[in-house]
Chains A and B, each alone.
Chain A
Amino acid sequence: QSALTQPPSASGSPGQSVTISCTGTSSDVGAYPYVSWYQQFPAKAPKLIIYEVNKRPSGVPDRFSGSKSGNMASLTVSGLQAEDEADYYCSAFAGTNTFWLFGGGTKLTVL
């Protein structure tokens, strides 16, 4: 099964909001509530920032929010800060044959 589809890049100025999309199918994103998002800085391990579509782990700023509509999930970063510049990956459960899929990643640039 193909990876989830994310735009390769996104950008915004400090203080603005940016939304990153993650498009799947009715067999993965659209089928289960298990969509998560990860933030990765260069040469670092990914960090969980959103799980189960719209829940934030303890310590993650509420500037990060997640949503889902049909087969597309979204990550919104509000009040952009320079420290948000990183790669972002979505992930979704795709059933008990394929199990777990990742998106190709989106590089977020803060202008």
Chain B
Amino acid sequence: QVQLHESGPGLVKPSGTLSLTCAVSGDSISSVTWWSWIRQPPGKGLEWVGEVYHTGKTNYNPSLKSRVTISADMSKNQFSLSVNSVTAADTAIYYCARKGPGYLDVWGRGTLVTVSS
């Protein structure tokens, strides 16, 4: 059974950097698939943030591309998200997920990140 688990600070100061990690079990991030981040502001809809392939290739939401970095660590079987210059608008539940050819089939439980001083 594939499981994903997000971890990282729940509170980040404005203008700081949000950093999260997604630990994968039951599958290898070296497999032929993409690994994604999605976020959901409280009470609002889903927004695709970006994705990484085990080769290091990445794709990003154009609206976030200048501030986002996603990377994969095969030795730890995990992938990470970094968002810099954060504002209150980046406050959201952040989910990591495994992506098939055109869908997200396994999701983590999500972690709430609040941007506040």
A residues whose Cβ falls under 8 Å from a Cβ of B: 1, 3, 32-36, 38, 44-48, 51-52, 57, 89, 91, 93, 96-105
Contacts and interface: CB of A to CB of B under 8 A. Distances in A.
Interface of B: 38, 45-48, 51, 59-62, 95, 100-105, 107-110
B48 A33 contact: no
Contacts of A52: 101-103
Contacts, number: 62
A4 to B, nearest CB: 10
Given A45-B95, A97-B62, A102 B46 contact: yes
Given A34-B101, A46-B95, 12 more contacts: A33-B102, A36-B103, A38-B104, A48-B103, A48-B105, A52-B103, A99-B51, A99-B59, A100-B61, A101-B48, A104-B45, A105-B45
Interface centre among A3, A34, A100, A101 (most CB of B within 10 A): A100
Contacts of B108: 45
Given A45-B95, A45-B109, A89 B45 contact: yes
9 contacts: A34-B101, A36-B102, A45-B108, A46-B107, A48-B104, A48-B105, A102-B45, A102-B47, A104-B45
B4 to A, nearest CB: 9
A48 B60 CA distance: 21
B103 A98 contact: no
B104 A36 contact: yes
B109 to A, nearest CB: 6
A91 B47 contact: no
A91 B110 contact: no
Which of A48, A96, A104 has the most chain B CB atoms closer than 10 A to its own CB? A48
Nearest to B50: A99
Nearest to A1: B62
Contact of B103 (A34, A44, A104): A34
A106 to B, nearest CB: 10
A51 B100 contact: yes
A45 B107 contact: yes
A57 B105 contact: yes
A89 B105 contact: no
Given A101-B48, A104-B45, A105-B45, A34 B59 contact: no
